[in-house]
Amino acid sequence: MKVVALEDVLGTEHDVDGGNWVSRRLILKKDNMGYSVHDTIIKAGTETHIWYQNHLESVYCIEGEGEVVTLKDNKVWPIKKDTLYALDENDEHLLRAKTDMRMICVFNPAVAGTEVHDENGVYPVAKD
């Protein structure tokens, strides 16, 4: 059994500031669950280019409002509280926050916990 409180992660190396976002990584690769879980704040007024070439991600918005733009077709997907979106095709996208957005993110495969996006919006695959 594993129990993790957000306060256990705040201020540690797993409380990662990516500029437009802050991601508090709760479940990681080392936990051997096959996925990772993040409590992420997307900052109001930002636009972030993301392309998880190595990961699939599901994102559940629990606060705030914004939109996701899938770049292959320029489709705009409104996101608000109680909305989930799944990047099931390693979708290259823009995430725009109208207000601060609090998101619960699940990544497969799991991340190690300190990753930030590279110049293409990609996370590397966590090493064993």
Q: What is the pLDDT of residues 6-51, one digit of tens each?
A: 999 999 999 999 999 999 999 999 999 999 999 999 999 999 999 9
CA-CA distance, 65 to 46, in Å (whole number)?
12
Query: How is residue 63 written in tokens?
Result: 């606060």
Rounded to two decimals, what is the model's pTM?
Answer: 0.90
CA-CA distance, 67 to 104, in Å (whole number)?
15
Report the Cα 85 to chain-centroid distance in Å: 11
pLDDT one-digit tens code per residue, 72-124: 999 999 999 999 999 999 999 999 999 999 999 999 999 887 877 777 777 77
Which domains does the chain possess? Answer: 12-108 (2.60.120.10)
